[in-house]
Amino acid sequence: MLAIFEAVAITLWLTKDNIFYLFNFSYIGVSIAIGVFLFIKNYKHARRVVQLLVGLYMLVYLGLISQENMQIEGFWYYLFTGVFEAATIHYAVAKIFGPLIFGRGWCGYACWTAMVLDFLPYKTPAQPRKAIGWIRYIVFAASLIFVAALFLAKVGNIERIMFWAFIIGNVLYYAVGIILAFAFKDNRAFCKYICPITVFLKPMSYFALIRIKCDKSKCISCGKCKRVCPMDVDVTDNSRKRENGTECILCMECTKNCPKKAL
């Protein structure tokens, strides 16, 4: 993972002639490497360490201090202006092409929304999934329409609007995420039903190179992996069509809890 992120860091630094990219992607790569090291050492909060290192950096430094809208509105904004800069690069690496390699690793190790939601008490869902995942497409379309309308109406100073959209959007995400977590007794309810980023993440992670696989010769079908999974993935099915397969956030709870080390 460090090698992948260093390759991105050096490529962008040299092609964009901007040393920020070297710092940015090296920092993320080193954070992930620290997490992998802690995971190998069986430190139980390894994932949370990475989530805080990367999530806080992106929210506080990139979002609040550098005033870069890294939410989906920011992605549309930079896409429409034709600027291949921070938010578009971030989406390309973390949410569009990166998932072909590391699936929804973003959701398990970097997202600043989930960084807060994962502190809530419902780490494994208490109830079956609800059939309301279609809401994500409405939120996705609304974000696109919002930014397109700003451009069509030729509103001035869209950059400033994007900064405030980032602040208000995050407050709304946290509020809705926390309310849903308590209502459904599920920390990740926001991820399952509302988050518009999953419109990119789900289809791309279907083809992910890095996946959890089950060694059927060791598995005793005890079902523990599914009970501890925050995303309701049927991880004992090795096919890409497994139930909720595109929801896996690589949190490793299933591998840690499998009594037969079959995962």
- Closer of 159 and 243 to ligand SF4 (Cβ): 243
In the complex, what is the shortest distance from the CB of residue 152 to ligand SF4, in angstroms, rounded to a whole number?
27
In the complex, what is the shortest distance from the CB of residue 180 to ligand SF4, in angstroms, rounded to a whole number?
11
Is residue 219 near ligand SF4 by the rule CB under 6 A? yes
Is residue 254 near ligand SF4 by the rule CB under 6 A? yes
Is residue 86 near ligand SF4 by the rule CB under 6 A? no
Here the tokens at position 209 are 């190179």
Pick from 147, 165, 189, 214: which binds ligand SF4 (CB under 6 A)?
214
Give the interface segment with ligand SF4, choosing from 40-48, 79-87, 111-119, 179-187 (CB under 6 A): 111-119
Pick from 51, 71, 113, 205: which binds ligand SF4 (CB under 6 A)?
113
Is residue 235 near ligand SF4 by the rule CB under 6 A? yes
Print the binding letters for residues 161-200 with ligand SF4: x by CB under 6 A, - otherwise.
-----------------------------xx---x-xx--
Is residue 59 near ligand SF4 by the rule CB under 6 A? no
How many residues make contact with ligand SF4 (CB under 6 A)?
36
The candidate with the shortest Cα–Cα distance to 232, out of 178, 179, 191, is: 191
- Closer of 162 and 263 to ligand SF4 (Cβ): 263
Residues 6+ apart with CB under 8 A from 69: 63, 77, 87, 162, 163, 165, 166
- Residue identified by tokens 């999953």 is 198
Is residue 111 near ligand SF4 by the rule CB under 6 A? yes
In the complex, what is the shortest distance from the CB of residue 66 to ligand SF4, in angstroms, rounded to a whole number?
20
Q: Which residues bind ligand SF4 (CB under 6 A)?
A: 107, 111, 113-114, 190-191, 195, 197-198, 212, 214, 219-225, 229-231, 233, 235-236, 248-254, 258-260, 262-263
